[in-house]
């Protein structure tokens, strides 16, 4: 007799996982959550206080950064990466995240390990006021090695139609304010893995320039920008927000700029974290390639009126972030990478 279990899928492991994660998910709920885990769909009532509410959605995954989580057997922060990649995107439109769904696919489900992963998702959701109302865990023998998994998420937020941030009001002369990243975040890891390798012993070696092991550096979780971004948008005339993900400055900043405008970025206006110096040294790449691949120390960029820029920086710093006036909007197209005096 050949049954589902002998084919590689043990449904009891799935039941065990749901039991393990129910409490961490419930800890993220607010008064608008109408159902717990286990239903066929998650229910969330639209909150009041919006004149003309618009839903804003985003989906993303962690990518091959997951390889380092598997190699180093460290799974407690990778969920933050998943949440951050989704909610950081939708907050760029001025949306407050409401709820989140996650998707895990694996070769063989380890309930205890996946509970750690989902616990990280729930922790990040709670930090940004986003309810984890459901998800899917797929055990897929033959598709993934037994000890590997993939992780993706889906976030839905809300904004008043009149308060949507889409870059359309950006003007020549506006300032660009950057908020520091926590490290590599979750993009460029196919290149990172080529440069730094996947040998666990090497990854666990302490690196003086980093002030930590290489493994700790690459698994530093993606920064969550929701709270600071919403606060700045409420207090100032934020005209555009760019989440610096895959493609770096070169690809992401132009996404918010109206036609005929470019971003002039002063690369000497903010510090470059040591992990990017390491990647630059290992790769031999110049600025044109590095800033088209990694965030290089800035995870989110705000376009604001020039006269508000210094106050925006002060407000961000007061909230615990590192922020810099990193450039300006000018006539042209794309991104111009500049050095002081050049």
Q: Domains in the chain, start-ordered, CATH in brackets? A: 11-163 (3.30.1330.10), 175-338 (3.90.650.10)
Residue 342 has pLDDT above 60, yes or no: no
- pLDDT bucket at 3, cuts 50 / 70 / 90: confident
Q: What is the pLDDT of residue 126?
A: 98
Burial of 285 (0-12, 13-18, 19+ CB in 10 A): middle
From its phi and psi, is residue 271 left (phi > 0), alpha (psi between -120 and 50) or beta? beta
Q: What is the pLDDT of residue 240?
A: 98
Task: Say if residues 65 and 78 touch (Cβ distance below 8 Å).
Answer: yes
Residue 11 has pLDDT above 80, yes or no: yes
Q: What is the pLDDT of residue 36?
A: 81
What is the per-residue pLDDT across 79-120, written as a single tens digit (0 to 9) for each? 999 999 999 999 999 999 999 999 999 999 999 999 999 999
Integer Cα distance of 83 and 100 in angstroms: 8
Q: What is the pLDDT of residue 35?
A: 85
Strand partners, 175: 304, 328
Nearest Cα to 81, choosing from 279, 299, 284, 341?
Answer: 299
What is the per-residue pLDDT across 278-307, written as a single tens digit (0 to 9) for each? 999 999 999 999 999 999 999 999 999 999
Q: What is the pLDDT of residue 204?
A: 97
Q: What is the pLDDT of residue 4?
A: 86
């Amino acid at each position: 007799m050949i049954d589902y279990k002998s084919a590689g899928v043990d449904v009891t492991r799935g039941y065990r996982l749901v039991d393990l994660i129910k409490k961490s998910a419930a800890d993220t709920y607010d008064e608008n959550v109408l159902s717990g885990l286990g239903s066929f769909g998650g229910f969330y009532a639209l909150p009041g206080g919006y004149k003309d509410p618009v839903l804003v959605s985003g989906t993303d995954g962690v990518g091959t950064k997951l390889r380092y989580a598997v190699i180093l057997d460290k799974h407690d922060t990778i969920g933050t990466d998943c949440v951050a990649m989704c909610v950081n995107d939708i907050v760029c439109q001025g949306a407050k995240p409401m709820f989140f769904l996650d998707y895990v696919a694996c070769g063989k489900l380890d309930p205890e390990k996946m509970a750690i992963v989902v616990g990280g998702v729930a922790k990040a959701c709670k930090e940004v006021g986003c309810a984890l109302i459901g998800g899917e865990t797929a055990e897929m023998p033959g598709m993934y090695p037994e000890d590997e998994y993939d992780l993706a998420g889906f976030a839905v937020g809300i904004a008043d139609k009149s308060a949507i941030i889409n870059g359309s009001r950006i003007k020549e002369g506006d300032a660009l304010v950057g908020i520091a990243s926590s490290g590599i975040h979750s993009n460029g890891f196919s290149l990172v893995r080529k440069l730094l390798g996947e040998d666990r012993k090497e990854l666990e070696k302490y690196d003086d320039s980093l002030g930590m092991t290489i493994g700790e550096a690459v698994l530093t979780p993606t920064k969550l920008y929701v709270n600071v971004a919403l606060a700045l948008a409420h207090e100032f005339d934020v005209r555009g927000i760019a989440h610096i993900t895959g493609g770096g400055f070169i690809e992401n900043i132009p996404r918010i700029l109206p036609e005929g405008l470019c971003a002039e970025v002063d690369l000497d206006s903010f510090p470059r974290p040591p992990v990017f110096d390491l990647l630059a040294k290992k790769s031999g790449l110049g600025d044109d390639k590095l800033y088209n691949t990694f965030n290089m120390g800035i995870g989110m960029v705000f376009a604001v009126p020039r006269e508000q820029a210094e106050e925006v920086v002060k407000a961000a710093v007061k909230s615990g972030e590192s922020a810099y006036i990193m450039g300006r909007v000018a006539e042209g197209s794309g991104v111009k990478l500049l050095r002081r005096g050049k």
